[in-house]
Structure 1
Amino acid sequence: MSSRPRFLGPSDQVGTFTAETDSTGTGRGTWESFIDTWNDRMGDLYPLPEFSASTVDGFQGKVRSVTLRDTAVNELWGSSPVSTQSVWTHEHDHIRLYVGLRGAMTLRDPHDQGGDAYVSAGTYFMHHVVTENHFHTTPEIGNRIFMFPGDALRSLVAGKPRAGRATSPAAQILMAHTSMVQRTVSDLSPVAAHASRNALLELAKGLVLDHFDDHEPTFTPALAQAAKDLADARLTDAGLSPAAIAAHLHVSVRTLQRAFTSLDESFSAYIRRRRLEEAAAALTAPGSRLTVSEAAARWHFTDSSHFIRAFKKHYQATPAQFARRPT
């Protein structure tokens, strides 16, 4: 089992802390130490419910919290169910957004829902939390849980919880920005942390409104990252192009190109590089029988000669020479 949760960052509630069981452990110590750290750091803003004994004693997985002052993102990956035992009766005033990544979570009768809310992989649910509700998850669970101050989103969500697909353009931009925050939070300056927090809030508003301001410079890195994520999932797709990704994200090609102007390469160059990298990995995989012409076709180069020239320019070796290199 891992040691106590690690906290990185200054004392103004910007940073991250995690808890993770090892391959042989389950986790009273892991779970309780994470909850203790949460209560020390964020408990006054966002009190947690009491969790069931089976959750505490049998927890297997990882929890990671990223905090940006009055905003938090908790990411849970577990191979054991998580459920509440009791909930507090005092009033809350914050917005909670659940995004399903694996398995499912059931929220029992949120006060503004009129019945249970069910968050499965690829869906989201956002509501105004006034009183805490019970919840339980499937044994295999992956979830991002965002906590926002009530003032920021109450007018959009209070009395009208929102649910939808996490594949919508606004959701993908929000998730891309969140991933960047998770990667960089320990290195953020106070100004950058404040900007990241504000971008999270504005993108959450965009999720509710199904629209975000694609001319807002704050969102440019998130737009570029969302485009990269989509491209990475479609590298063998013949229809992959800047125009296709722009249409998927509901922005113009020009807006998408503008998002890459501050980076080292254009979006078209990014697609080409990633295709070459995937081709190189496949050609050198143990036992690979992939031919150069097959690789060119799979990653949609015009022909073998075109593929070989692009490959040699990138790797300073032909595909055949590269495949013969010692590993």
Structure 2
Amino acid sequence: MTDSAGAEADGSRRAFALDSRIPGDVPGGFDALRHLWETQIGDVFPLPAFSPATIGGLRVKGRAAKVRDVAITDVHGVSVLRTSGTRGGDEDQVRMYVVRRGAWTLDGPPDSGEQTVSAGQFLLRHVGRPSQFETAPHTRTKIFALPAAMLEPLLGNRIITGPADSAEVRLLVAHTNMVHATIADLSPAGTR
């Protein structure tokens, strides 16, 4: 587990990478991972309540970055990731899931049921409450947690899905890959 950007005094920029497949990469186990996540990313995108089986057999590789009020997370779950119930509270965010391999299944609003995002697809939706999810083994996903203020008026209650290889999604993914690569070197002006 590496903390590649450290914490800014104003909390505008933070990042870390981890590979729980490597013995010793998460000293202190899941509790240490949860603490790192909550101190680096959690104020924008809280870590969900995972099932005991997920916590006990966690095999994941990933990186996460927080830039101001946006969180970008790359997840390669070797093991199945499954939540157990939801945390309380509201999450006024727009989230985008771009699945490159496997499948990510999310519970949906009461009137729409579950939604599965398969490899090669994306899903964009407004999140008003924490949701449960489950992944297939070896799922690779990029998750964007974005502030709702600018996007929710355009999105409303719609759920938008489409191909992950569309020009717009490729541009967004390329930009966030560059953020991951340069976040440790960004000045406060660059972060803004």
| 1:13 to 1:37, Cα distance in 2 relative to 1, 3 A | farther
Q: How does 1:134-173 map to 2 (within 5 A)?
A: 134-173=132-171
Separation (CA, whole Å) in 2 of partners of 1:25 and 1:120: 32
Identity between Structure 1 and Structure 2 (%) = 32
Instruction: Answer yes or no: is the 8 Å Cα contact 2:54–2:82 preserved in 1.
Output: yes
Q: How does 1:147-296 map to 2 (within 5 A)?
A: 147-194=145-192
| 1:107 to 1:138, Cα distance in 2 relative to 1, 3 A | same
Q: Pick the aligned partner of 1:132 from 119, 130, 133.
A: 130
Instruction: Answer yes or no: is the 8 Å Cα contact 1:14–1:69 preserved in 2.
Output: yes
- Could you tell me the TM-score, scaled by structure 2's length? 0.89
Separation (CA, whole Å) in 2 of partners of 1:6 and 1:113: 41
Separation (CA, whole Å) in 2 of partners of 1:124 and 1:106: 12
Instruction: Answer yes or no: is the 8 Å Cα contact 1:5–1:34 preserved in 2.
Output: no
Q: Pick the aligned partner of 1:6 from 3, 6, 13.
A: 3
- Could you tell me the TM-score, scaled by structure 1's length? 0.54
The structure carrying a bigger helix percent of its residues is 1
CA offsets, 1:251-287, max 9 Å, x none? xxxxxxxxxxxxxxxxxxxxxxxxxxxxxxxxxxxxx
The structure carrying a bigger strand percent of its residues is 2
Separation (CA, whole Å) in 1 of partners of 2:13 and 2:38: 15
Give the AA of the match of 2:103. A
| 1:99 to 1:107, Cα distance in 2 relative to 1, 3 A | same
| 1:84 to 1:192, Cα distance in 2 relative to 1, 3 A | same
1:54 corresponding residue in structure 2:
53
Any unmatched runs of 5+ in structure 1? 195-327
Instruction: Answer yes or no: is the 8 Å Cα contact 1:76–1:143 preserved in 2.
Output: yes
Q: How does 1:57-136 map to 2 (within 5 A)?
A: 57-108=56-107, 110-111=108-109, 114-136=112-134
CA offsets, 1:126-159, max 9 Å, x none? 1100011110000111000100111121112220
Instruction: Answer yes or no: is the 8 Å Cα contact 2:44–2:71 preserved in 1.
Output: no
SS of equivalent to 1:151 = helix
CA offsets, 1:29-77, max 9 Å, x none? 4443222122123333333321011111111121210110110101111
Q: How many residues align?
A: 190
Instruction: Answer yes or no: is the 8 Å Cα contact 1:111–1:131 preserved in 2.
Output: no
Any unmatched runs of 5+ in structure 2? none
CA drift at 1:15: 2.8
Separation (CA, whole Å) in 2 of partners of 1:57 and 1:26: 15
SS of equivalent to 1:86 = coil
CA drift at 1:80: 0.4
CA drift at 1:22: 3.9
Give the AA of the match of 2:144. F
Greater relative contact order: 1 or 2 (C-alpha under 8 angstroms, separation 6 or more)?
2
Separation (CA, whole Å) in 2 of partners of 1:137 and 1:18: 20
Instruction: Answer yes or no: is the 8 Å Cα contact 1:16–1:66 preserved in 2.
Output: yes
Alignment RMSD (CA, Å): 2.1
SS of equivalent to 2:131 = coil
Give the AA of the match of 2:140. G
Separation (CA, whole Å) in 2 of partners of 1:77 and 1:150: 26
2:41 corresponding residue in structure 1:
42
Give the AA of the match of 1:156. L
Instruction: Answer yes or no: is the 8 Å Cα contact 2:77–2:138 preserved in 1.
Output: yes
Give the AA of the match of 2:170. Q
| 1:21 to 1:45, Cα distance in 2 relative to 1, 3 A | closer
